[in-house]
């Protein structure tokens, strides 16, 4: 009932364009720099062990079958690497491993950004399941209190997405600093390639943030429009 051309033009098409562009940048950067060996000759796992030893970051290392599914799980204190990152001594592997240890360092040092984002997680978990239902149900039944509640829950998810971008940028900044401090960036190609990979990855979070803001603006327009009609 509420799917209209405004949603298509102002939300869906920009979201598809941004996400597609971001994914293309990630794939291109990874394709380029996964084929170039880093000067230290270290795989992602080797890089992880070097950083753990240098900075006293004690986490477990595991694998994940998903390509570019590398991530840090703070609950289990585990960093998981995809096969290519774990085994290849490439510039991309080194950069991605260091980025995940940027997250490890954030948690180890109780980063304020991480703390604020973590505070929002319960609301985001609820909102991701119920916000759309509440917004649409409130509009259909003309119970604007429901729609406003849904909008508030959706707003928490948007704020989470907004905070995720600086968290990721900070993890990339920490990654470069740790690689520098450990003496692993031994050539300008190492440095340039690592920065290119990390910049491309940041674009995915930028795209997600913009998409969530556009969606929030659209649903806010519907809810406020319903209120004005009343």
Active site residue ranges: 100
Q: What DSSP line would sit under 112-168, residue for residue?
A: HHHHHHHHHHHHHHHHHHHHHHHHHHHHHHT-HHHHHHHHHHHHHHHHHHHHHHHHH
Distances (CA, A) of 186 to 39, 43, 152, 181, 190: 6, 15, 49, 11, 7
Distances (CA, A) of 83 to 68, 74, 127, 154, 230: 9, 21, 34, 35, 57
Sign of the Cα torsion 216, 218, 224, 227 reads negative
How far from the centroid of its chain's Cα atoms is residue 46's Cα?
A: 24
Q: Are 153 and 127 in contact, with CB atoms under 8 Å apart?
A: yes
Sign of the Cα torsion 153, 156, 162, 166 reads negative
Q: Are 123 and 226 in contact, with CB atoms under 8 Å apart?
A: no
Q: Which residues pair with 79 in a beta bridge?
A: 61, 72
């Amino acid at each position: 009932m509420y799917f209209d051309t405004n949603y298509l033009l102002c939300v869906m098409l920009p979201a598809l364009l941004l996400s597609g562009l971001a994914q293309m940048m990630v794939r291109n950067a990874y394709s380029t720099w996964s084929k170039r060996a880093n000067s230290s000759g270290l795989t992602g796992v080797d890089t992880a062990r070097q950083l753990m030893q240098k900075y006293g970051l004690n986490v477990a290392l595991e694998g994940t079958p998903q390509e570019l599914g590398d991530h840090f799980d703070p609950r289990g204190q585990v960093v998981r690497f995809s096969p290519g990152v774990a085994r290849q001594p490439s510039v991309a592997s080194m950069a991605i491993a260091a980025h995940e240890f940027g997250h490890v360092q954030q948690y180890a040092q109780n980063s304020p950004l991480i703390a604020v984002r973590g505070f929002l997680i319960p609301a985001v978990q609820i909102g991701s399941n119920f916000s759309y239902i509440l917004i649409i149900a409130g509009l259909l039944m003309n119970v604007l209190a429901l729609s406003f509640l849904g909008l508030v829950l959706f707003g928490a998810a948007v704020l989470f997405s907004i905070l995720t971008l600086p968290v990721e940028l900070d993890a990339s900044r920490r990654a470069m600093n740790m690689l520098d401090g450990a003496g692993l960036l031994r050539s300008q190609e190492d440095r340039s390639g690592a920065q290119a990979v990390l910049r491309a990855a940041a674009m995915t979070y930028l795209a997600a943030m913009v998409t969530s803001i556009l969606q929030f603006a659209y649903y806010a327009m519907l809810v406020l429009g319903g209120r004005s009609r009343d």
